[in-house]
Amino acid sequence: MSKYNALLQKKLGNTYPKLAALNNEKLADFFGEYIELCNPDSVYFCDDSEADAEYVRRRAVGLGEEKPLTRANTTMHYDGVGDQARDKANTRYMVPADRIAAMGKLNCIDTEAAMAEIKTIMKDIMVGKQAIAKLFCECPTHGPFSIGCAQLTDSCYVAHSEDILYRRGYRHFMDMKDKNDFFRFCHSAGEPDENGCCANLQHRRIYQDLDNNIVFSMNAQYAGNTVGLKKHAMRLAINKAGREGWLCEHMFVMSVPNKAKARSTYFVGAFPSACGKTSTAMIPGEKIVGDDIAYFKNINGEFRAANVECGIFGIIKDVNGDDDPVIYATLHEPKEMIFSNVLTGPDNNPYWDGMGIETPKTGVNYAGPWTEGGKIPISHGNARYTLRMDYLKNLDPAWNDKKGVKVDGVLYGGRDSDTCVPCEESFSWEDGIIMKACTLESETTSATIGKEGVRVPQPMANLDFITYPLGDYIRNNIEFGKQFGADCPKIFSTNYFLRTPAGKFCTGKLAKKVWLHWFEGRVHGEYEAWETPTGFIPKYEDVKRLFKTLLAEEYALEDYTYQFSFRCDSWIAKLERAKAFFAEMAPALAEEVYTYWDKKIAEFKAAKAKSGGTVKPGEWEKIK
């Protein structure tokens, strides 16, 4: 019995029996402790019923946190001008003082100091409000990937978003064998300003207690800072996975159907922001399992992946009918979804930058009344849509399988204009982690504040979410894959942003379909390949045929030769940048990784001496 029972009965009122029926002392203690501290006027405890979900939806609208749009079941939510993206500076990992040094450059804070500060901020922060207590599950419920999650929030928008994005978890909590193993989240938007947005952003804190699997998010409203089960839970899961011997990765999960061979092959992929992650997962003709976060486990000797979510919280900028036909069509259907920080037009419909149609000249957006021609764009660059996975017409049938899907290929995609080839297969799992994943970079563009063309290290496309020493994380990735031996997935790399000497992109947006289908063939041993210093690349005849078959396009030998040539100086510089980055960020990185890079650098220098600096496809065997 929880010591908070009297308080819980008072605050939860007629919803208290639903909590009591779970017979979970740790859960009751969590809610009791933070209800006492935050002091909401009342708490509504939700089970898995549609009636409780509808209560939250209606209340989100009634409180003005969401506004109904013209299309049935769709709403608009606005965050404040200063609350439009993840707050990296104030997202900190709570770690005991004696372990902080081992965390390297990760953004940590002493646990004792953090608890003192966050409890001061949380004291009475929910006074005058009703809080929502709701249970969810990461991955399909009642399965080997499942992790229960408990959320306390004073934002019905947050609770509604989670109900779209994640599986309801009341029944899962009822049936859990280990009633102590779950994630906990406490959120408050704090005092509202005149627009209903956070008034105290200077006191915004997102503190993550890694030892106790609790996240505190205060004075925040943007979903990336508040929706507990997304990046907050991802950070907790990465830490948990590191201790337990599995992986949580910032990856999509998708399948590539091959109708001619009557098979589907599953891939997962990590891409830094603006490097093609969503567009790869949503390639026309392929199938999606999940677009953002995946858990990997050894299930009966197989490398299997599960989609953590059952919805999509996607960037809406540039989603249009030509480039993203499935998502674009879905966004115009009268189904339950939330738009955030885009224009509400005079017709009470949503409009955003890059949607490919003529947009209104006036309306309301995240900054208030809006007129075309001012300094504020029609929609924020990080504006979002929130919808359920099962709305998508390209959803893979196995997307909700409790045991996940068997993975045959892992993709790492970066952005650079002059180094990496469009597609390549690694020599081995270990080679792929060290040479593809650890050296992943994203090149800054004109859309980024600062100088264009700067390579920004993005190892594993996961750096913002790694919650234990980076060197250990890299080692765990290597060891996890090696346990599968010959049945380990192949690792591939992509680069959709290689440019011609004139500065134009070498291929169109849909060329990624060709590279993906070459990967699919390689998984099944159907294409020969040329060896390069960094892996295996396609032969011209195969990709020429794929361009013709898949895209009805011609692919010139001259273009192939330029795109798939190995550039010695660029790769030497790339590995030197990786060495410098890891020396600062991960002082405990295994020495064998540096040895591996040094051997490669020596190999590239020898190749340069023999080739003049550029190794064309098929020429590596001549100069080895």
What residues act catalytically? 275
Give the strand pairing for 294-299 and 441-443: unpaired
What's the per-residue H, E or C state across 195-248? CCCECCHHHCEEEEECCCCEEEEECCCCHHHHCHHHHHHHHHHHHHHHHHCCEE
With b for 16 or more beta-carbon neighbours within 10 A and e for fewer, the 383-422 pattern comes to: bbbbbbbebbebbbebbbbebbbebbbbbbbbbbbebbbb
Do 238 and 466 contact (CB within 8 A), yes or no?
yes
Helix residue spans in 445-539 (DSSP H)? 470-482, 511-523
CA 604 – CA 616 distance, rounded (Å): 14
CA 623 – CA 180 distance, rounded (Å): 60
Do 566 and 532 contact (CB within 8 A), yes or no?
yes
Closest by Cα among 571, 580, 555, 553 to 608: 571
What's the per-residue H, E or C state across 69-107? CCCCCEEEECCCCCCCCCCCCCEEEEECHHHCHHHCCCC
Q: What is the DSSP letter of 279?
A: H
Residues in a beta bridge with 183: 149
Residues in a beta bridge with 290: 253
Token representation of residue 371: 């007129």
Do 569 and 608 contact (CB within 8 A), yes or no?
yes
CA 99 – CA 291 distance, rounded (Å): 34
Tally Cβ neighbours within 10 Å of residue 467: 22
Token representation of residue 617: 């496809």
Residues in a beta bridge with 75: 68, 338
- C-alpha pair distances (Å), 612 with each of 431, 606, 622: 25, 10, 13
